[in-house]
Structure 1
Amino acid sequence: MGNDYKKIILLKGFQHINDKCFNMIKSLLKEDLKLTSKMQDEYDRVKIADLMEMKFRGPACVDKLIELVRDIDEIKDLANSLRKEKLKAIKKNKAKGATPVENQGTSSLGQSTSTANEASGSESVKDTPVKKKKTTETSESKRMKLTKEESQLPGLSVMSTESTKCLLQTPQMPSPKPSSSSSIKKPRLKSVPKEASREEGFQRGPKEVMVLKATEPFTYDVTGGKMMFHATVATENRFFQVKIFNVALKEKFIPNKVIAISDYIGRNGFLEVFNVLSVSDVNPDRKMEISKSLIQKAKATPKISHLYLQHLGTFVNGVFVVHKKWVYNEFIYYEIRDDTGVMEVMVYGQRLTSISCEEGDRLTLVCFELAESRAKRQLRSVIHSYIKVTKVKQRTTTQF
């Protein structure tokens, strides 16, 4: 039964996906299928389909591919075709299960022809008497199944078989198709991601996204005078953290504006954009339906207890209240707290240590690395870190 769904992936799915999109799908499946870098480079469509069939049994195999292609703008229209093919496979397998096994000596050609007739509901008779008998029995079994189902509707229990059959031909009667429509819509019911999505390596794109927020440009390399800014963007079902290394692009990263990003690099949980030509405007009428819950999750500050569960090396954004501050040589340490715990923030370098921040202020951190010092978790500044301080008492803001 699962083999039918693998055929859908190979014949109806992967054959319509170009190499670039196929590589993106392999990247998205990396964790589910336990793909190493070598496997991502070497595995072709057949091997990936085999792994998907083993990991996601039955219709779930196709559902997973539908979920993936919906996230890739270039091939998202393929999702509808895959749903239709999955529905055909479900009907085909149901028809196989309702048909008695007979004439085991029949040739494989005869069997495939009979199966095709069953799946399409055809009553045409071709070639041998064996096929005629099998097709007739299939049609009869289908008619009896529908008769049994319809007879259970209110007001129809006392009707004769023949009467139930003019009724089935009436256009106003509901067809059996709606009963499976719910299974088609299930892939759309996706939970909101808790973390920013990751992509690795060079990505051609374009990826259409809506800008949620962006920092002001800042000089991250004082000696070389290099500048950048951070942004958070989202598609309909995912959000991303972006580093932009060309400040001329700041005019493109306006909140609620839809833009297209191309030729970017995925690295350490960020999408890195360098070239001014990598960001372009889209049709002014282009709208993106992004749920409020996804926007809230993209802008949310993680709980400190949650940070203790994350992998070291994870990069963190958030707004925290400073409870303590102390200076040690060229370092400044802040103690931040929330209702779930306490954590230390270490700031290094003249660019960040020169910012005035005192106890009671709100400290906005962008691109701080989760590290460990003296067996304790710590948020540590790196070269691309950004700080914004809100003076709670004076109600003024200092930023760098």
Structure 2
Amino acid sequence: MEGEYKKIILLKGLEPINDYQFSIVKSVLARDLGLTANMQKEYNKVKIADLMEKKFPGVACVNKLIDLFKEMQDCEDIVINLRNGKRKVMRQSRGKETIPMKKIKPGASSTEESTSTADGASGSVHDTPESKKQKSKTTPKGGKKKVQPTQQQSQLPEPSATSTQSSGSSLQGPQQPPATPCSSGSTKKPRLKAIPREAAREEGVQKGPKKVMVLKATEPFVYDTMEPGKKMFHATVATESQFFQVKVFQVNLKEKFVSKNIITISDYVGRNGFLEVYDASSVSEVSADQKMEVSSALIQKANATPKIRDLYLQKPGTFVNGIYEVHKKNVLNEQIISYEIQDNTGKMEVWVYGRLTEVDCEEGDKLRLTCFELSDNVKKLRSVIHSFMKVIKSRKNKKQPLDPDSHMETSP
């Protein structure tokens, strides 16, 4: 089966990628494969596949490539093909298909209860025989008693970055104020409207209309350097009870996305925690006599920067907005820069790819990150095709930006 794994990484992994993506693969794997600068220039995809087979025998070479492609832009389909190919070879090597779920017969052993299956494409994990047994045990009287989960169960893998589940569920909600005494001497808790900690989510095509107040918007920017006409900007909007992150792909709508402006959004798409607006006709301003009351607490939550400590609790695939100070900068190559950001709760790496590597940012500056994704193997933030980055220069680093997309500000 060793040759089958090599065939997977060559035909399903390396063959479909372009020259630029292949150069990233060679650069990132240079240390692991022992590649010199000349070897990186001269080695083709076949030679790299040969080296990977030797350095990472068996299924390890496929896993290595999967981990790398999960970090790269526009490689989601390749990751899925690699995982499917890997599962197919592993099933062939076992000589049998995954055992289907079956019902327990009286007196049957617990090993017949279920089959453990890890779905490599989605990252989901189904119940194992042990987890089923831990969930419920039948007592002699036919009742059930609760059993605490084992340590092994508490360490099951998280969903993959392609998941569209909402994040932040592990964080505590806002605390209610203490009860206040009533005139009769009893106590009664005041009713307060709950303030969401995360942006609201909608999935699929939405007709609307949705009336919102604009809280803020970024400058328009080119998100695809191969096609300069592809421009967009990000915005944050709110109803009276929740806030939303918006991607606007019609830059002429920027004049309507002005702070405190009240607009309606129709015929938009909800995807991965964002509302996506594609047509100019989808946005219209409301009449001046229509008012909206958006609480200062909701606005504060919408503009808040997540603590790094809390980012480690989020699910992979979560998109993050916030302002963080840069403590270290590491230029890996012309197309990849790693920044170490820090706040009073911890540190985390931010990997920046492609066009955003031209933004002038140095140690001591602050980065205003928009639409950065939390990676799904090592916890770090990374730029994706729609990411936007703005630099807030420290006094000591203040100078003219080299690139118009750097959008420099000055920090005191």
Give the structure-2-normalised TM-score: 0.50
- From 379, 385, 388, the equivalent of 2:387 is 385
What's the counterpart of residue 290 of structure 1?
294
* Aligned CA distance change for structure 1 residues 307 and 397 (closer, same or farther; 3 Å): farther
User: Aligned pair count?
Assistant: 214
Q: Is the 8 A contact 1:212 1:232 kept in 2?
A: yes
The AA in structure 2 aligned to 1:306 is D
Q: Deviations over 1:188-217 (max 9, x none)?
A: x32110000000000000000000000000
- Name the CA distance, whole Å, in 2 between partners of 1:311 and 1:390: 28
The answer as to 2:258 corresponding to 1:250 is no
- Name the CA distance, whole Å, in 1 between partners of 2:309 and 2:348: 9
- Name the CA distance, whole Å, in 2 between partners of 1:255 and 1:241: 14
The answer as to 2:342 corresponding to 1:337 is yes
Q: Is the 8 A contact 1:390 1:396 kept in 2?
A: no
What's the counterpart of residue 361 of structure 2?
357
What's the counterpart of residue 198 of structure 1?
201
- Name the CA distance, whole Å, in 1 between partners of 2:232 and 2:274: 13
The answer as to 2:249 corresponding to 1:218 is no
Q: Is the 8 A contact 2:269 2:276 kept in 1?
A: yes
How far has the Cα of 1:390 moved from its partner? Answer: 1.2
- Name the CA distance, whole Å, in 2 between partners of 1:217 and 1:285: 30
How far has the Cα of 1:396 moved from its partner? Answer: 6.1
* Aligned CA distance change for structure 1 residues 288 and 322 (closer, same or farther; 3 Å): same
The 5-angstrom pairing of residues 252-331 of structure 1 reads 252-329=256-333, 330-331=335-336
How far has the Cα of 1:222 moved from its partner? Answer: 1.2
- Name the CA distance, whole Å, in 1 between partners of 2:399 and 2:391: 9
- Name the CA distance, whole Å, in 1 between partners of 2:390 and 2:248: 18
Q: Is the 8 A contact 1:389 1:397 kept in 2?
A: no
Q: Is the 8 A contact 2:330 2:338 kept in 1?
A: yes
- Name the CA distance, whole Å, in 1 between partners of 2:330 and 2:399: 22
The 5-angstrom pairing of residues 1-400 of structure 1 reads 186=191, 189-225=192-228, 226-329=230-333, 330-349=335-354, 351-373=355-377, 376-393=378-395, 394-395=397-398, 398=401, 400=405
- Name the CA distance, whole Å, in 2 between partners of 1:203 and 1:356: 38
How far has the Cα of 1:366 moved from its partner? Answer: 0.3
Q: Is the 8 A contact 1:362 1:391 kept in 2?
A: yes
Name the structure with the higher helix share.
1
- Name the CA distance, whole Å, in 1 between partners of 2:281 and 2:269: 14
The AA in structure 1 aligned to 2:277 is V
Q: Deviations over 1:79-118 (max 9, x none)?
A: xxxxxxxxxxxxxxxxxxxxxxxxxxxxxxxxxxxxxxxx
The AA in structure 2 aligned to 1:310 is Q
1:298 counterpart SS class: helix
1:377 counterpart SS class: coil
Q: Is the 8 A contact 1:217 1:229 kept in 2?
A: yes
- What is the percentage of aligned positions where both structures have the same residue? 62
1:249 counterpart SS class: helix
What's the counterpart of residue 141 of structure 1?
none
The AA in structure 1 aligned to 2:385 is I
Q: Is the 8 A contact 2:246 2:277 kept in 1?
A: yes
Q: Is the 8 A contact 1:312 1:370 kept in 2?
A: yes
The AA in structure 2 aligned to 1:270 is F
The AA in structure 2 aligned to 1:334 is Y
Q: Deviations over 1:134-162 (max 9, x none)?
A: xxxxxxxxxxxxxxxxxxx9xxxxxxxxx
The AA in structure 2 aligned to 1:338 is D
Q: Deviations over 1:314-373 (max 9, x none)?
A: 000000000000011221000000000100000000x10011100000101000000145
Q: Deviations over 1:216-239 (max 9, x none)?
A: 000001111200000000000100
2:315 counterpart SS class: coil
How far has the Cα of 1:250 moved from its partner? Answer: 0.4
Q: Deviations over 1:158-194 (max 9, x none)?
A: xxxxxxxxxxxxxxxxxxxxxxxx99x95xx321100
What's the counterpart of residue 130 of structure 1?
none
What's the Cα RMSD here? Answer: 1.8
Structure 1: state its 5+ residue gaps.
1-152, 154-181
Give the structure-1-normalised TM-score: 0.52
2:223 counterpart SS class: strand
